[in-house]
Amino acid sequence: MDPSNLVRMANRIGEFFDAMPDQAQAVDGVATHLRKFWEPRMRRALLSHVDDHGMADLHVLVAEALSTRRDQIS
């Protein structure tokens, strides 16, 4: 898996949920989408990339979902 592609896809998900007025619901939406629609190896690769390189290149909602709901996503 190409980490830059996973980051790009995750950021697009974050941009989609950014339109929600409630940030907590938006973060939940990101986490739920990653859990339901990304296969486990994609989620593991994204989390590994975050562990190695941090979250600076991630949309704020994606970063929050990964930090606060990591157990739901992994």
Q: How far apart are CA 28 and CA 62, in angstroms?
A: 10
Q: What integer pLDDT is reported at residue 56 of this predicted model?
A: 96
Q: How many separate domains does the chain show?
A: 1
- Could you tell me which of 21, 32, 22, 30 has the C-alpha nearest to residue 60? 30
Quick: pLDDT tens for 29-63: 999 999 999 999 999 999 999 999 999 999 999 99
pLDDT for residue 61: 98
Q: What residues make up the domain containing 38?
A: 3-73
Whether the CB-CB separation of 59 and 8 falls below 8 Å is answered with: no
The percentage of the chain sitting over the pLDDT mark of 90, rounded to a whole number, equals 97
How many angstroms separate the Cα of 64 from the Cα of each of 1, 9?
A: 22, 16
The yes-or-no verdict on residue 24 having pLDDT over 90 is: yes
